[in-house]
Structure 1
């Protein structure tokens, strides 16, 4: 006799979001050199009725929280883990900017591995060549 598989945590989350009637959640990803463009994308996505999660720290800008190199390295690891959690929470991912470095590529790969649709503000930078789903 075959037993049905219990729902995965991801399936539980998707069901809970549907049950709550939540709008689409978008995770904004990209190099923090594009923080201004991320702010604009956040505005546009929010105006379109979507919930937005995005990087909250720009470690390229000086700040006391990451002034010490050892603390900065630890914080960077924690922020990367936090951003992966934002990607897992999201229904889709929006890549902002006209450049994709190693960190952004790893975010794209992670999102794809999670089965998340990925859109681009600049579809030409899609490392997988599909970038037809440009952001509004």
Structure 2
């Protein structure tokens, strides 16, 4: 007797997204120092017909939500967890900016572990060196040189 093969949660999600006729979902990742470039990438991806998810909170700038350092640390943990969920939801990942810090490297490693295709606005910073350059029309995402770490 044959036993039906059970689908993984990821396979269920992909089937549901296809059944709903959803466009490609792109998770934008990168240092929040590039929030302006992320907004531009969001615009360009949206105009190209893709659904975009990206960081919605910049932990590098002061805000009342993170005035207390203990609260800020807990918030950072929750936001990191939320962003990993965005990566799981996405069909592909776009790394924005010309700098990769520890958080972005962690996001890249997580996306790779989940088998997500990854694009870079600056392919030269790909820590694994295995990503082809973006098409020319994507060059609008280019960002100025980042200050040192």
- Structure 1-normalised TM-score? 0.97
Q: Which residue of 2 aligns with 1:74?
A: 74
Moved more, 117-126 or 1-10: 1-10
Instruction: Supply the distance in 1 between the matched residues of 2:131 and 2:13 (Cα, whole angstroms).
Output: 27
Query: How far is the alpha carbon of 1:5 from its aligned partner?
Result: 2.5
Task: Look up the match of 1:83.
Answer: 83
Instruction: State how many pairs are aligned.
Output: 136
Show the 5 A alignment for 1:28-107: 28-107=28-107
Offset of residue 38 of structure 1 = 0.3
Q: Structure 1 runs of 4+ off > 6 angstroms?
A: none
CA-CA distance at 1:54 after TM superposition: 0.2
Structure 1's unaligned 5+ residue stretches are none
Partners of 2:103 and 2:72 in 1: CA distance: 16
Q: What is residue 122 of structure 1 aligned with on the other side? A: 122
Q: How does 1:13-24 map to 2 (within 5 A)?
A: 13-24=13-24
Deviation, structure 1 residue 131: 2.6
Q: TM-score, normalised by structure 2?
A: 0.88
Q: Does the 8 Å contact 1:125/1:131 carry over to 2? A: no
Q: Structure 2: any 5+ residue segments left out of the alignment?
A: 139-149
Q: RMSD of the alignment, in Å?
A: 1.0
Deviation by residue 1:15-67 (Cα, 9 ceiling, x = unmatched): 00000000000000000000000000000000000000000000111100011
